[in-house]
Structure 1
Amino acid sequence: MEQKNGGFSETGLRRMRDVLSRHVESGKIPGLVALVSRNGETHVEAIGTMRHDGGSPMRRDTIFRMASTSKMVGAAPVMVLLDECKLHLDDAVDTWLPELANRQVLKRPDGPLDETVPARRPITVRDLLTSTFGLGVDITLMGSPIQNAIFENGLFDTPGQALPEPDEWIRRLGTLPLCYQPGERWQYHVSNEVLGVLVSRVTGQTFETFLRERILDPLGMKDTGFHVPAGKIDRLPPAYIPDPQTGTFIAWDEAEGGRYTEPPAFQAGGGGLLSTVDDYHAFLQMLLNQGMHGTERILSRPAVQLMTTNRLTPEQQSFREDLAKNNVHLSHGQGQHGGWGFGMAVRTYRGDYASIGQFGWDGGTGTSAYADPDKQLTGVLLTQVGMSTSDSAHLIHDFWTMVYQAIED
């Protein structure tokens, strides 16, 4: 078999492209851009078109809505503040976020919003970084008063509903009780948005300004941000949500005149970034390099190790594993990792082709970005098809299956 210097086989890469092409040729994925990198060798595939009805081809520099794949990048500025001793993991956040002081907690997670008990302790920075501060999007509680309140108060970034500016967002969050005691349970997403408000309050800068100065610019992530400038808007495809019954492509956001043409009121580190495969590769490679980018240190080695290894207690992890396994039919197989670091999943058991210790996350818009310390591997797959059907999830799963088969040492 022909060997490539970076540890990918030519045959394996060809088979990966064939499988990715098959998804596009099925008509269910208009286009995709994929990047794999190992030992200094990077391989990119751009397949298909920007729109479902043809038009401009996908390119290496196509810009995508990253959705929850934003979370890992959004957590990095907090690590900068920890490195500089401007925050500490077990600091109560009340000092900077008085809206979240003196919390009340529901007596029952699915109970009435006015049946509460006092929180046993304040919310800490650690609680926010690990998604265990007591409130989040929870698939097991959909339709409950607290989950309804999260959506009704505009606290969750959804198609057709932009988030209010940060002070108003955190004020609204502060009107709700917690679902669980701080540190008790892993719950998804909301904590990542709180982190952006925290960074802004601690630094006196907007979240995006600090993120850009300390993470994006030093890494050369020139196409990453919370909106797309006019000069780059032709590189942004529409965002599709296929109809779950018919598979018909429904565009929830167009590029021209869409929601990402102007800076948003709320800079959402939990799901609001736009980026490219090369920009995310730079971020993941920095993490694989223990915080280094070339000769410049972006994060300390301990900060990276904290981010990229499991930070959940056995009790928190048990709940997260049960949540993933019992809802695998709803998640199209996504989320089966076991652990959670800061802003990303961490594989704590061998459940598929990926190594234990692999870290990263996926996005509901059809995005995926992971690094694997054991294999010294990074991979990014970006599409414009949301996970309202299983199509983009299956594409992501197949991408990783083929990436790991392409490794030859």
Structure 2
Amino acid sequence: MSSERLERIGPVLQRYVDEGQLVGVVSMLARRGEVVHFEEFGNLNKNTGQALEKDSLFRIYSMTKPITTLAVMMMYEEGKLQLTDPVERYLPAFANARVAGPGGSLVAPDRPMTVQMLMTHSSGLTYGVFGDTMVDRQYRDGNVMVSPDLDTFIERLGQIPLQYQPGTRFHYSVSTDVLGALVEAVSGQSLGEFFQQRIFGPLEMDDTFFQVPADKLNRFGTNHTYNPQSDTLEVSDNPNASNFVNRQTFESGGGGLLSTAEDYMKFSQMVLNGGELDGVRIIGKKTLEYMTQNHLPGIFGDNGQHSPDTLPGFVDGTGFGLGFAVIEDPAAAGGVGSEGEYYWGGAAGTIFWIDPVEELIGVVMIQHMNVQVPLRATFKALAYGAIVD
């Protein structure tokens, strides 16, 4: 990669900070196993002006999802479950699931919700926050997402109808949180214990966890939300008062982890390497190849189809694998990249992508809900523009 062209990245990200569009950002690129860019810009804490550092801690929200999905696939490799297994086999709260029908009616599922459907957000579940259907309202009224533990989360969720027939459409949802409960049910460990013992410990991801340890609180900053009325970023979550410090809800496999850019790069490099990093194997190469292909056509068959408008940021030319979105047509996706590239992001603006063709990984960490700048597209253009071989 061209060092001269990599130097274009810094001024662009610094400008976002200087213009007040980002408070702080850590950006990282690796190619062919070597880190070629790693910089920090701006502040960690908007209230105090504390500077961001390369090892600052970030709420990665939905970038938790690939990790949780991979944990389930590790157990699949061990013969402890099948992807076609009905979820109710492991989580009996779903045994009497019903589907919301016309006029508030409830109907039986045409086919059972499977583990694979959870991994691809085709389970019929929803989130309760992206719409206002009868089912969405029940999620909110039932306090599903603020359950104190995973057992309570599953108990509450099992009493609410599915929004769609399982396996008929992609709909972003709490499916990966259910996978977290599945990890606990099958492994006999808490989700955090499984992660630490089987993934974080072996990969030396020492700064990835569900709750900020007291001795690392100084590395955890403010989260922000864009206010369209004032056209400014306002603090929406202070470190000391944050649920990530004073945890009162369940360990969320869909969005509960904190991490650093360097830790998430370790996870991503392991994935790109085919399941191994620094002599430690986490999962099999063929398993990862299977995870990073588009599973939606196989699940849907003649039962439904994927519509790109069902998820913010889910663009044309894109399918969904097991825990990752997958680029099938870079031209249709509208940005530079490679066929077979896979990625995801988090609600506070964190992003990553893995390009197996170019052996390239990008990780960007920020803490902003409702980001107004095209950060992923811009960073990708800068990164691919530095490839000269």
- Using the size of structure 1 for normalisation, the TM-score is 0.89
* Separation in structure 2 between the aligned mates of residue 307 and residue 217 of structure 1, nearest angstrom: 23
CA-to-partner distance for each residue in 1:57-112, whole Å, 9 max, x for gaps? 1111010000111111121110110010001111112222110113211224xx42
Cα displacement (A) at 1:310: 1.2
The answer (yes or no) to whether the contact 1:16–1:406 under 8 Å persists in 2 is no
Tell me what 1:104 maps to: 98
State whether structure 2 residue 77 is matched by structure 1 residue 77.
Answer: no
CA-to-partner distance for each residue in 1:373-397, whole Å, 9 max, x for gaps? 011011100011111x523xx2232
Which residues of 2 match residues 40-51 of structure 1 at below 5 A?
A: 40-42=33-35, 43-51=37-45
Cα displacement (A) at 1:242: 1.8
* Separation in structure 1 between the aligned mates of residue 229 and residue 336 of structure 2, nearest angstrom: 31
Cα displacement (A) at 1:314: 6.6
Change in Cα spacing, 1:320 to 1:57, as seen in structure 2 (3 Å) is farther
Q: How many residues align?
A: 383
State whether structure 2 residue 15 is matched by structure 1 residue 33.
Answer: no
Tell me what 1:400 maps to: 380
State whether structure 2 residue 273 is matched by structure 1 residue 289.
Answer: yes
State whether structure 2 residue 218 is matched by structure 1 residue 234.
Answer: yes
Larger mean CA deviation between 276-285 and 52-61 belongs to 52-61
The answer (yes or no) to whether the contact 2:64–2:257 under 8 Å persists in 1 is yes
The answer (yes or no) to whether the contact 1:227–1:264 under 8 Å persists in 2 is no
Tell me what 2:15 maps to: 22
Aligned residue among 148, 152, 157 for 2:137: 148
Equivalent residue of 1:366, what SS?
A: coil
* Separation in structure 1 between the aligned mates of residue 52 and residue 378 of structure 2, nearest angstrom: 19
The answer (yes or no) to whether the contact 2:64–2:253 under 8 Å persists in 1 is yes
Gaps of 5+ in 1: 1-7, 157-161
Q: How big is the alpha-carbon RMSD for the aligned residues of Structure 1 and Structure 2?
A: 2.0
Aligned residue among 236, 243, 254 for 2:227: 243
* Separation in structure 2 between the aligned mates of residue 335 and residue 149 of structure 1, nearest angstrom: 29
State whether structure 2 residue 283 is matched by structure 1 residue 299.
Answer: yes
Tell me what 1:4 maps to: none
CA-to-partner distance for each residue in 1:218-245, whole Å, 9 max, x for gaps? 1111100111101001101111112122
**One-letter amino acid of the counterpart of residue 120, structure 2:** T
The answer (yes or no) to whether the contact 1:321–1:338 under 8 Å persists in 2 is no
Change in Cα spacing, 1:235 to 1:399, as seen in structure 2 (3 Å) is same
Change in Cα spacing, 1:165 to 1:372, as seen in structure 2 (3 Å) is same
Tell me what 1:5 maps to: none
Change in Cα spacing, 1:187 to 1:251, as seen in structure 2 (3 Å) is same
Cα displacement (A) at 1:36: 0.3
The answer (yes or no) to whether the contact 1:23–1:395 under 8 Å persists in 2 is no
- Using the size of structure 2 for normalisation, the TM-score is 0.93
**One-letter amino acid of the counterpart of residue 401, structure 1:** A
Tell me what 2:323 maps to: 343
Larger mean CA deviation between 126-135 and 59-68 belongs to 126-135
* Separation in structure 2 between the aligned mates of residue 288 and residue 322 of structure 1, nearest angstrom: 26
Cα displacement (A) at 1:52: 3.0
Tell me what 1:390 maps to: 372
The answer (yes or no) to whether the contact 2:57–2:220 under 8 Å persists in 1 is yes
Gaps of 5+ in 2: none
